[in-house]
Structure 1
Amino acid sequence: MLINEIKAPFQHNKIPFEQVDIENKKRAKNFSGTLRRIWSYLTREKGKLFLVFFAVATTSGLSLLGPYMVGMAIDDFIVTREVDGLVYLLIGLIAVFFFHSLSMFLQNFWMIGLAQNTVKDMRENLFNQFHRLPISYFDKRQHGELMSRLTNDIDNVNVVLNTSVIQILSSVLTLVGTLIVMISLSPILTLVTMIIIPMMFLAMRWITKRTGRLYKMQQRAIGEVNGYVEEIVSGQHVVKTYSQEDRVIHEFDERNTTLKETGFWAQTIAGFTPKVMNTLNFLSFGIIAFVGGLLTINTELVTVGVIVIFTEYARQFTRPLNELSNQFNMLLSAIAGAERVFNVLDQTQEEIDEENAKEFSTVCGNVKFENVSFAYEDTPILTNISFEANQGETVAFVGHTGAGKTTIINLISRFYNYDSGRITLDGTDIKNMKRSSLRQHMAFVLQDSFLFQGTIRENIRYGKLDASDEDVVLAAKDANAHELIMKLSDGYDTILDQEGSGISQGQKQLLTIARALLKEPKILILDEATSNIDTITELKIQEALKHLMQGRTSFVIAHRLNTIQEADKIIMLENGNIIEQGNHEQLIEQRGKYYHLYKGQVTDTAN
């Protein structure tokens, strides 16, 4: 019904709202359950939460006391012209207003601190969860969309905690207190005031029914925009190389338009709330003034002071309803964001280490695959893979894209768990080793070198944080990186961003090799570390890699076969199966798939 009512304005832009709504229905979670989880964060500071409740209760009580004292002043002192009593009452009013302001300040002060601590804990939990999730989770999602949950979604929760919690609590207390006092003063006028409540309820129900889904759509659209921007900004070189600027601008415009439309309708429909409530508020004033005037003229049931009190209480009665409706819309937006945060927190973490898993302070580096099979989401990737890499040997994997080369590497490092068979390190099944213990003996040099924002010294030291400056320099020299580092303006203190601006791809690769050398691993994994590098730098990298691989068990993913001719063992993969294995000379003599692939590359290079 919601989509049918609001989708017409979108049709000129052809926004696929049916698809958006279906996606949100799939992802919708329990509203009360999400609230309880947010509440569980708040209750971690029970003392501060009690102070907030106490301050809110005090503020609400004093806000009720003020109008009541004004009514008393009219009936008891102004009508009777008793000046002395009026003076004392005015002094009392001043005290009430002062303490009312003080309690409002304190409730806001304490709540801001509570809210900041809460979102800090949520942000920490989410960030920590990122590091506990398996690699496969990140492979299937845009990084920018995940970043949106850490920033925009939690910020929405922060805004609501800073404002809505106090407003909702204050509104409920004021509502109950006002109703009690109104009944005690005049049940008839109270009943008259209640006439507008059903109209308020129906208006609230109509509005919130629509804004809830729209806020979820809006949060999803924000995540998609962030994810797309992060992807395109990271791939600017590719975009410009293939002259795709117009296409990506058009695709961004589509996502941005969806965000604009969802935001427009969410805010527009939510904006009906104060207008409707103010209209009903004015209607309530008119009804109370009319009925109260008749009762004052014709009966003694109501005094002028009571009418004044009721007109103020009627405002106080409708104001909490108005605030509740406004805050509920904000709450819906926060719930939409919190759901996305909790969705990540509820994801299955990387499998914990087995109960009997042990730490291994030293290893030799003998790796053995015994009939290993692996399927990814029911799609077979590897089938009965068996091979052995002895300490200090270099094993290279070759084959077309999708043959299973990277999967083998992911299984060795336990980024994925194999389904059947056995992988051992020095005779011990790697499932009986703690992941942290396994990976501390490994180092990676990948095709896409990654540097963190910081100095060159910090980037090299990343693999071994307790390394001395002398060790860092020695590793850089062994990696043929020292000379290029010293040519930079600040040497080892040169600050790089994560893209490594100011140095070439080959120079970044030398730094990652230095990082791996400093760690002194027993097992080394290389993923086409010399691809897309100029010839001179490639020679430096190959020399550095030889130094790095010396005495270490190395696994190499190779696309250019001339780089692996010295490997102790070359394994040819096809469709997840080993079809050939041996050293370069043996495979050439077999004149099989490897032979034809090698000859084809040699011919292409010659041409």
Structure 2
Amino acid sequence: MSQDNKPKTRPRRQRGGFGGGRAAMMPAEKAKDFKGTLKRLINYLKPQAFKILLVIIFTIVSVAFTISAPKILGQATNELFGGVISKQLPAGMTKDQVIAGLKARGQDQMAEMISGMELTPGKGVDFDAILHILIILAGVYLLASVFQWLQQYIMASVAQGTVYRLRRDVDKKLAKLPLKYYDDHPHGDILSRVTNDVDNIAHTLQQSLTQLVHATVTVIGVLIMMFSISSLLAWISLIVIPLSLIVTMLIAKQSQKQFIAQWDSTGNLNGHIEEMFTGHNIVKAFNRQDEAIERFDEENERLYKASFKAQFISGIIHPAINFLNNLNYVAVCVIGGIRVANGIITLGDVQAFIQYSRQFTQPIVQTASIMNILQSTVASAERVFELLDEQEEIPDTDNPVVLDDIKGHVKFEHVYFRYKPDVPLIEDMNLDAQPGHTIAIVGPTGAGKTTLVNLLMRFYEIDSGRITVDGVDIRDMRRDDLRKNFGMVLQDTWLFNGTIKENIAYGKENATDDEIIAAARAAYVDHFVRTLPDGYNTVLNDDASNISQGQKQLLTIARAFLADPRILILDEATSSVDTRTEMLIQKAMAKLMKDRTSFVIAHRLSTIRDADNILVMNNGRIIEQGNHQELMAARGFYYDLYNSQFLGAYADVDAV
């Protein structure tokens, strides 16, 4: 939604500032310079260094409490098991006497097991001691949760603060980039860098980074605890790690192919749906519904097969790893049971070790997954940094000239310009537009008409020569000061998601309702707006498809009326309206252009017959110049162009 008359998005422009592109939302590939980009991303985290240190400390503390819990729970198990065994032994005897008696009766294994236990013959289970241990255990789990919440809370602040600065830098950069950047890059790609890639970085910083720290600390802590209990069992558990990695890599290699096919099929299906949806009327008009459905079924079937294979193959990883973990579990239980029976370790230690072995493999697999995510994140960061490194517009002069009362005298003096260094376009252009005159610019496609306007607005910088407004070189003025004196009505209408009133008011900051309505009446907008259910408060959707193309054009003209500029630029502003509306707009334009310098790019030559000066352009040059009568009398390029539109049309009618 729009607020304060500011739209969410910028106008989408092709060369010359018009047009649009389709967003291409693609998964990021691997980074070209992983180390360099990662280092630069880390630099964005430096202002948050203290918070990150707190996150690491809290993570270590949280993990320390978490991994101490199985050991404490093992003590409760030992206390319970020892109490059960103690109850079965004769009271009044010492532990050494019981062991000696068992060995005398030939029960050596039982004696060895008891020798490794803490017990008092005949005492039974000490439930108070077990309760005390469980209270401690509950406190440990509570503290682990508190510190884990604290590190997540602080990391959320770190991630969002970092991404906030990154988004701010990107937005500032977009405002400083020349129009050439937008012409040379698909708009979908720019949008993907600003949204998808930045969001990918935000997600990784907030989730994956803490998970990586947590997983690393957990692996180290659990490994220490496992070796402290039994080095033999620890080495047995470590064997599972390389086996798990090998299985994961082999399966992932096969599933990756299917995921690529899935992405391709998804793109094809989405493209087909978009085409059929946007061209729904055409599909119906040519009775192509069955063909469209058949094509959809084919693409849907292809996507189903690719997705099924991808999910099936990747789904094997989890049960395969679980199988290896279960084998490890069996080995730990059997060997641990034997060692308990031999009195080498206690039953509680075996129980604790089993829990540690369960905790050990998960962070390792998680770390491997995070490393893949990190590859994608660094690739996203690289795309964002590429945008931030793009060459900016030439900075405005330090001592700009400010024209308070502009007259509108525009001159091109020996102007040279080319988009590509080896492809000349405008060469030695000279033009003198007197204040209040209407300058029409005509010519075939690619003649340089829109380029002339781009140079005048400083969307592009000229190679040599100069352009002046009231005798002042436009390069000696700030771009903002220059452009506020211009009003533009383009063939490619641009309206944002907001009310009609907000769209008209975009032409003037803090415009009053009376000014908006007056501009609407001048552009013949007021009548059709009042026929809408909500009038001026009618909300236009994202592409303003809830009003006609002609009505959209009228709204952009009303916006120009409201701006009340000294210099007008009209790019075939009436091309999208019917003949009757065109006649009304021509009258309105005549009133709007009165006493203002106007540049009119025209394709329909009937609309510029009354222009003070008509420039006929071809291949970047002004090949003819004069008013309509003079150019017709000269019987040159303009004469042929004019007759091709009118006499040719009559000839076609006669032929019919």
Report the TM range for the smaller structure's normalisation: 0.7 to 0.9
- Measured after TM superposition, the shift of residue 558 of structure 1 is 0.9
Change (3 A) 1:240 1:253: same
Identity of aligned residues (%): 42
Checking the alignment, whether the CA contact within 8 Å between 1:212 and 1:333 is kept in structure 2 is no
Residue 532 to residue 86, structure 1, CA distance change in 2 (3 Å): closer
**CA pair 539-380 structure 1, distance change in 2 beyond 3 A:** same
Map of 1:371 onto structure 2: 414
Contact 1:296 1:304 in 2 (8 A): yes
What corresponds to 1:282 in structure 2?
326
Aligned position for 2:112: none
Q: Name the Cα RMSD after superposition.
A: 3.9
User: One-letter code of the match for 2:622?
Assistant: I
Q: If you compute each CA radius of gyration, which structure gives the higher value, 1 or 2?
A: 2
CA distance in 1, matches of 2:472, 2:298: 54
Residue 159 and residue 191 in structure 1: after superposition, are their counterparts in 2 closer, same or farther (change >3 A)?
same
Once residues 123 and 60 of structure 1 are traced to their aligned partners in structure 2, the CA distance between those partners, rounded to angstroms, is 33
**Does structure 2 retain, via aligned residues, the 8 Å contact 1:144–1:228?**
no
Q: Tell me if structure 1 keeps the 8 A contact 2:28–2:380.
A: no
Kept in 1, the 8 Å contact 2:553–2:577? The answer is: no
Report the secondary structure of 2:425's partner residue. Answer: strand
Match of 1:591 in 2: 635
Tell me the residue number matched to 2:68.
Answer: 65
Q: CA deviation at 1:524?
A: 0.9
Q: In 2, are the aligned partners of 1:274 and 1:322 still within 8 Å (CA)?
A: no
Establish whether residue 89 from structure 1 lines up as the match of residue 133 from structure 2. Answer: yes
Structure 2 partner of 1:12: none
Within-5 A mapping of 1:34-49: 34-36=37-39, 39-40=42-43, 44-45=47-48, 49=52
Change (3 A) 1:312 1:489: closer
Question: Residue type matched to 2:464 in 1?
Answer: S
Task: Give 1:31's match in structure 2, choosing from 34, 52, 72.
Answer: 34
What is the deviation of 1:400? 0.9
Q: How far, CA to CA, are the matches of 2:258 and 2:401 in structure 1?
A: 50
CA-CA distance at 1:310 after TM superposition: 2.2
- Cα drift, residue 595 of structure 1: 1.3
Go from structure 1 to structure 2 and tell me whether the alpha carbon gap of 1:599 and 1:236 turns closer, same or farther (over 3 Å shift). same
- Inter-CA distance 487–91: structure 2 relative to 1 (3 Å threshold): closer
Match in the other structure for 1:512: 556
CA displacement, residues 70-95 of structure 1 (integer Å, 9 cap, x when unaligned): 23344466422561433322221122
Segment drifting more, 221-230 vs 471-480: 221-230
Bigger relative contact order, structure 1 or 2 (CA pairs below 8 A, ≥6 apart): 2
2:357 to 308, 314, 325: 314
* Residue in structure 1 matched with residue 625 of structure 2 by the alignment: 581
Corresponding residue to 1:531 among 568, 575, 591: 575
Distance of aligned partners of 1:268 and 1:42 in 2 relative to their CA distance in 1, 3 Å threshold? farther
Deviation at 1:461, TM superposition (A): 1.2
TM-score, normalised to structure 2's length?
0.77
Counterparts in 2 of 1:289-328, with a 5 A limit? Answer: 289-296=333-340, 301-328=344-371
TM-score, with structure 1 as normaliser: 0.82
3-state secondary structure, aligned to 2:424? strand
Aligned with residue 219 of structure 2, among 171, 175, 183: 175
Secondary structure at the aligned position of 1:579 is classed as strand
Aligned to 1:6: none
CA gap 1:310/1:542 in 2 versus in 1, 3 angstroms: same
2-structure distance, mates of 1:484, 1:134:
38
Displacement after TM superposition at 1:422 (Å): 2.2
> 1:449: Cα distance to partner?
2.1
Q: Determine which of 598, 603, 609 is the counterpart of 1:554.
A: 598
CA contact (8 A) 1:148 1:226 kept: no
C-alpha deviations, 1:527-567, integer Å up to 9, x for none? 11122421210111101111111111111111111211111
Q: Tell me how far apart the structure 1 counterparts of residues 310 and 389 of structure 2 sit (CA, whole Å).
A: 27
Give 1:493's aligned residue. Answer: 537
Is the counterpart of residue 393 in structure 1 residue 437 in structure 2?
yes
Q: 1:233 to 1:603 in 2, by over 3 A?
A: same
Q: CA deviation at 1:385?
A: 2.1
Between stretches 347-356 and 184-193, larger displacement belongs to: 347-356
Deviation string for 1:573-592 (max 9, x for gaps)? 11222211122222122211
Deviation at 1:49, TM superposition (A): 4.0
CA contact (8 A) 1:447 1:527 kept: yes
Letter in 1 for 2:61: T
Q: 2:459 aligns with which of 412, 415, 431?
A: 415
For the 8 Å contact 1:145–1:224, the answer to whether it is kept is no
Q: Which moved more, 1:37-46 or 1:63-72?
A: 37-46
Q: AA paired with 2:435?
A: Q
Q: How far, CA to CA, are the matches of 2:260 and 2:476 in structure 1?
A: 43
Residue pairs, 1:99-138, within 5 angstroms: 99-112=143-156, 114-119=158-163, 122-123=166-167, 125-127=169-171, 129-138=173-182
CA distance in 2, matches of 1:246, 1:420: 59
Deviation, structure 1 residue 525: 0.7
1:157 CA drift (Å): 4.3
Listed one character per residue, the Cα deviations across residues 425-456 of structure 1 (whole Å, up to 9, x for unaligned) are 22332223222222111111111222222222
Q: Deviations over 1:264-301 (max 9, x none)?
A: 77766654543343233223323333444454556x65
- Closer/same/farther in 2, CA of residues 304 and 264 from structure 1, 3 Å limit: same
Structure 2 counterpart SS, 1:547: helix
Q: Which residue of 1 aligns with 2:95?
A: none
Query: Could you tell me how far apart the structure 2 residues matched to 1:226 and 1:362 are?
Result: 54
> Which structure 2 residue ranges, 5 or more long, are not aligned?
1-23, 83-118
Q: Distance in 2 between matches of 1:350 and 1:256?
A: 46
SS of corresponding position for 1:443:
strand
Tell me the secondary structure at the aligned position of residue 554 of structure 1: strand
